[in-house]
Structure 1
Amino acid sequence: MEMETSTATVREEDEKKPETDLNENELGNDNVKNLKKKKKKKKSRFNFIPKLGCMKLNDEFPAVEEKPDVDGSFDVEAGSSQKTCEPNHLIVMVNGIIGSAQNWRYAAKQFVRAYPSDVVVHCSESNSSTLTFDGVDVMGTRLADEVISVVDRHPNLRKISFVGHSLGGLIARYAIARLYQQDFSRKPGEENDEGQGESDRSFAEEKCIDRIAGLEPVNFITFATPHLGSKGHKQVPVCCGLYSMEKVASRASWILGRTGKHLFLTDSDYGKPPLLLQMVKDSEDLKFISALHSFKRRVAYANVRFDHLVGWSSSSLRRRNELPKRRNLQKHAKYPHIFYELASKTAKPQEVRLEAKIVRGKTNEMEEEIIRGLTRLSWERIDVNFSGSVQRFLAHNTIQVKTYCINSAGADVIQHMIDNFVL
């Protein structure tokens, strides 16, 4: 009897166990559900915080390699696994005033992602920070020396292009004049001609080939560059078009060193005209126009509004009465901040005479001469408008995506440059 009673008790306990286990599981599931709800509540508290693009930037470029140099500059190339051959096209990117090589980091990586087997991008650092106060000529010479050293490091290079932001565009224009050279070669097939000595070949039988640092020049691109200087009326928008403020700015240009004198056209070294005037024609030593002319295309990106440092007229190389009406500007279907594109025809440099027209004093005379000199060549003009974007007040830096976190609105402008780039 005792054995039967104990056996019955054990059976009752075994029958109760599944019920207790089930209750414990139910309690456990309820706890898990409560924990999940708490986690969701915690996450929802931080949903209002925007995810910054710069936090994801490094993950977007897994195949890109940066190769820093001792001077702070760096080359950007595709990773070895992405390249089918060694790139032969050098793109030199030049920063603006008080800038650095890092200002072009985003654009450089986008270029390499688009053309991994074709380009190597060099972000220049020879004119960074306060070195940008040394004057356009000094900085242009430094950049030219830097480019030569880069070309020596990459023996496979065959082509070269320049991209400059703000003051960097002027520095690049001076540098290419330093790097400009002409090679003379015989016409194809003539090297097989027998019985012709060197003395029998005339100059007409030779073909002149323009070279920049020994390479074929292709693209010369500027972003918000003050091609006309900063002295003209409304060329520095922060002065609000007031002549009194422009005079104050001109007198305070010494703060920017020799660069300030060059920008405000107040320099007269050795009795020569201002440097920006010299840079619109060829001289015995430096072939400024010939160097520019050697590029297959010249492009000027300009901010229509909200650029407080460089006026629309100056950066787009147009007289103010030639600027399109803002109300007629229309958004590009693919690039939301590109509003107007204009390509001009090439005029032969030797057929154009620089005759400055005096409109309102010496400043307008010099400005007119600069326009006439530079527009002897064809320019693609791309007008950019950041109206409607929170980043419009930083338009001068947004146009180049200087810092992706705060200038990301300019990403479509960079993409436009890349999509239209000639390899």
Structure 2
Amino acid sequence: MEEEKKVCASESAVDGSRDVWSSEPSLASSADHLVVMVNGILGRETDWKYAAEKFVRELPDKVFVHCSERNVSMLTLDGVDVMGGRLAEEVPFLLGVPAFEKVASCVIHFIFRRTGRHLFLTDDDEGKPPLLKRMVQDYGDLYFMSALRAFKRRFAYSNVDYDHIVGWRTSSIRRQSELANWKDTNNEKYPHVVYEEHCKACSDAEQCDSTEGNSYDKIEEELVTGLSRVSWEKVDVSFRNSKHRFSSHTIIQVKDQITQIEGADVIQHMIDHFLL
């Protein structure tokens, strides 16, 4: 415990969110990268506790980590748009650090203000296309794809099996035919990373548009096509040899530091590939 105090410090902000930074003032003052961690459905800001502290321990003079608290537990069911609005309100509030707030003010208009209908593409707000379909392009004055393109690199970490919450095809932004042929790895540093792929941005002409079937399949194809217009680095992960493999959905983020520490190598992979 004493060692952790020397390495990083954390406190709850006014809104209940969790901020993590180096406890050494000289290191913390030079941090120039903001890492925002957001929990999944029915999750909490503490789900990212291990990852947040690990980031700061590894990069004490480079990063400041903010674990969002605006969308926790039942609030995650309010809808993608509502949650986006809450996060947009929260991010500029960070620390009162001028440098972070200045950056946030430049991108805040990229994020705007019910979750099941959104995820299953059944929402119909005033006759508009489903929200997720709108989000794979710049829609009106909402610059969704422009915001995504603003990042130099985009990573997608995916469980290839035993994740019964988010399927491999969905989390890795692939068509069924594009799923990788993978095998167990002998990589001692990242034993659970079984496949890595760099996917270049594709033009519309390069996309497969031969999808047949119901309208849902067509919309799904549009989503994959839209998101493939930017490059991705895809990292496939497997915990199939773990006795806790049926908890792969949360092991990948080390939600519990005692029973799910096996996922630590995935967090380490994120840190090692973090662009500074």
TM over 0.5: yes
Mark the CA change 1:75 to 1:84 in structure 2 (over 3 Å): closer, same or farther. closer
Mark the CA change 1:294 to 1:344 in structure 2 (over 3 Å): closer, same or farther. same
Contact 2:21 2:28 in 1 (8 A): no
- Partner AA of 1:387 in structure 2: R
CA displacement, residues 169-203 of structure 1 (integer Å, 9 cap, x when unaligned): xxxxxxx97544xxxxxxxxxxxxxxxxxxxxxxx
1:409 and 2:265 correspond: no
Alpha-carbon separation, structure 2, partners of 1:411 and 1:367 = 32
Partner of 2:217: 364
Following TM superposition, by how much is the alpha carbon of 1:346 offset from its aligned partner in structure 2, in angstroms? 2.7
Mark the CA change 1:383 to 1:125 in structure 2 (over 3 Å): closer, same or farther. same
Contact 2:185 2:192 in 1 (8 A): no
TM-score normalised by the chain length of structure 2: 0.91
Q: Secondary structure at the match of 1:270?
A: helix
Contact 2:12 2:18 in 1 (8 A): yes
Q: Secondary structure at the match of 1:83?
A: helix
Following TM superposition, by how much is the alpha carbon of 1:59 offset from its aligned partner in structure 2, in angstroms? 5.0
Contact 1:177 1:287 in 2 (8 A): no
Q: Which has the larger radius of gyration?
A: 1
2:234 to 381, 384, 388: 381
Question: Which protein has the bigger helix share?
Answer: 1
What root-mean-square deviation, in Å, do the aligned CA atoms of Structure 1 and Structure 2 show?
Answer: 2.4
Contact 2:136 2:226 in 1 (8 A): yes
1:322 and 2:266 correspond: no
Following TM superposition, by how much is the alpha carbon of 1:333 offset from its aligned partner in structure 2, in angstroms? 3.8
Following TM superposition, by how much is the alpha carbon of 1:115 offset from its aligned partner in structure 2, in angstroms? 1.0
1:136 to 80, 87, 110: 80
Residues 221-240 of structure 1 correspond to what in structure 2 (within 5 A)? none
Mark the CA change 1:407 to 1:65 in structure 2 (over 3 Å): closer, same or farther. same
1:342 and 2:207 correspond: no
Contact 1:280 1:288 in 2 (8 A): yes
Residues 257-272 of structure 1 correspond to what in structure 2 (within 5 A)? 258-272=114-128
Q: Secondary structure at the match of 2:229?
A: coil
Alpha-carbon separation, structure 1, partners of 2:201 and 2:50 = 32
- Partner AA of 1:269 in structure 2: D
Contact 2:192 2:239 in 1 (8 A): yes
Partner of 2:50: 106
Contact 1:141 1:178 in 2 (8 A): no
Alpha-carbon separation, structure 2, partners of 1:355 and 1:413 = 31
2:137 to 281, 287, 292: 281
Stretches of structure 2 lacking an aligned partner (at least 5 in a row)? none
Following TM superposition, by how much is the alpha carbon of 1:392 offset from its aligned partner in structure 2, in angstroms? 1.0
- Partner AA of 1:61 in structure 2: E
Say how many residue pairs are matched. 272
Alpha-carbon separation, structure 1, partners of 2:107 and 2:139 = 10
Alpha-carbon separation, structure 2, partners of 1:114 and 1:108 = 10
Following TM superposition, by how much is the alpha carbon of 1:89 offset from its aligned partner in structure 2, in angstroms? 1.2
1:77 to 15, 21, 34: 21
Contact 1:91 1:160 in 2 (8 A): no
TM-score normalised by the chain length of structure 1: 0.60
Partner of 1:293: 149
Partner of 1:145: 89
Mark the CA change 1:325 to 1:60 in structure 2 (over 3 Å): closer, same or farther. farther
Q: Secondary structure at the match of 2:117?
A: helix
- Partner AA of 1:87 in structure 2: A
Mark the CA change 1:355 to 1:333 in structure 2 (over 3 Å): closer, same or farther. closer
Superposed structure 1 runs of 4+ greater than 6 Å apart: 158-161
Residues 87-236 of structure 1 correspond to what in structure 2 (within 5 A)? 87-150=31-94, 153-157=96-100, 178-180=108-110
Alpha-carbon separation, structure 2, partners of 1:418 and 1:306 = 24
Which range is displaced more, 315-324 or 339-348? 339-348
Q: Secondary structure at the match of 1:406?
A: coil
Alpha-carbon separation, structure 2, partners of 1:92 and 1:130 = 20
CA displacement, residues 69-110 of structure 1 (integer Å, 9 cap, x when unaligned): 122101101013562743121111000011111011100000
Following TM superposition, by how much is the alpha carbon of 1:157 offset from its aligned partner in structure 2, in angstroms? 3.7
- Partner AA of 2:137 in structure 1: K
Q: Percent of aligned pairs with the same residue?
A: 49
Partner of 1:17: none
Mark the CA change 1:129 to 1:303 in structure 2 (over 3 Å): closer, same or farther. same
- Partner AA of 1:155 in structure 2: P
Mark the CA change 1:385 to 1:354 in structure 2 (over 3 Å): closer, same or farther. closer
